[in-house]
Chain A
Amino acid sequence: MSAEDHSKTYVGVLAALAVGTLLTVLISLVDMGHWGNIAVGLLIATIKASLVVMFFMHLKYEQRWWAGLVLFPLLLVMIIIGSNLADTGLNGKNRDGDLLSEPLPVIPHAGKAGPQAAHH
């Protein structure tokens, strides 16, 4: 922990988080393809999260190995997701493209789901 005055840093991080949130919404209005929107959305979220961890949570001023306490669980989560991806490619269909099961009950369409939907 540092005894320095971080007031300006905190204001800067707050501004960056606000801009990041605005960007996340604006970018979801732009059609960059299914994976493009997901990649950019998650990239911005990761940058915002890094700012919070490094400056608001003071990890930047702690011993370096403490970063492992954040990165190791994240690695485990990545392994959980990665090890299950092989099961997901068929999107609930068999290899002929037919649904594996009857659809679940649906809800009536009553509104727009998000800025991306509003855009189309």
Chain B
Amino acid sequence: MEHAAAAVHGAGEDDHVASFERARLAMWLFLASEIMMFGAFIAAYVVLWMSAPTQLKDGPETAFSKHHLSWKIACFNTAVLILSSYTMVKSVQAISKGLRSKCEDYMIATAALGTLFLGVKMYEYSLKFADGIGPDTNVFYGCYFLMTGFHGIHVLIGVILLIWCAFYVKRFDQHRYAHVENLALYWHFVDLVWIFLFPIVYLLH
């Protein structure tokens, strides 16, 4: 009887490990489609950038002029997102050891950093709008608002999911934390996209 119970328990563990792996694989497939989406934006940006006139007849400004952009604000936001990736991975590490409270703390810290990122982004947008700059200003700003806007929406979704996950942290333990792991994968992906957007949009000319 004990052997039978142990066998059933063992089979249950195997099923659980397999379903955890399937959940992660599904998340990676979703992220592959996300890579294609942001990849298409970046491809459009590169092609438009290389197609833009290098000189215009009536002045130094070009259709791809980046004036008014603040790389310092973007650099601060990069640091915020990198730090949030660290707190997220620590959250996963905590729950993998069964430390729910620590996991929750790191998750809330990640959500707070994500909110800070969004706040700074809103401030940056407000500076642009105050200067009369919008998506229709030139080709560059069309791409800028498209790429950073979509990225911002992803951050917002991530923050909402983090708060939801922190609220339900009691449901997870060291054996069952696929939600936390997948949320972490999503959050790191959002960080990844910004790692490329920062130099491409703000620094390279």
Contact = CB atoms under 8 A, between A and B. Distances in A.
Contacts of B18: none
B139 interface: yes
A10 B91 CA distance: 12
A44 B204 CA distance: 13
Given A52-B195, A73-B36, A107-B65, A91 B52 contact: yes
Contacts of A92: 51-54, 63
Interface stretch (B5-13, B40-48, B148-156, B157-165): B40-48
Interface residues on B, range: 35 or more
Interface in A79-106: 80-81, 84-85, 87-93, 99, 103-106
Contacts of B42: 77
A6 B195 contact: no
Secondary structure of the A contact surface, majority rule: helix
Contacts of A72: 32
A111 B40 contact: no
Interface residues on A, range: 35 or more
A34 B86 CA distance: 33
13 contacts: A14-B82, A37-B204, A37-B205, A45-B200, A56-B88, A57-B184, A66-B25, A69-B28, A73-B32, A77-B39, A84-B47, A88-B50, A90-B51
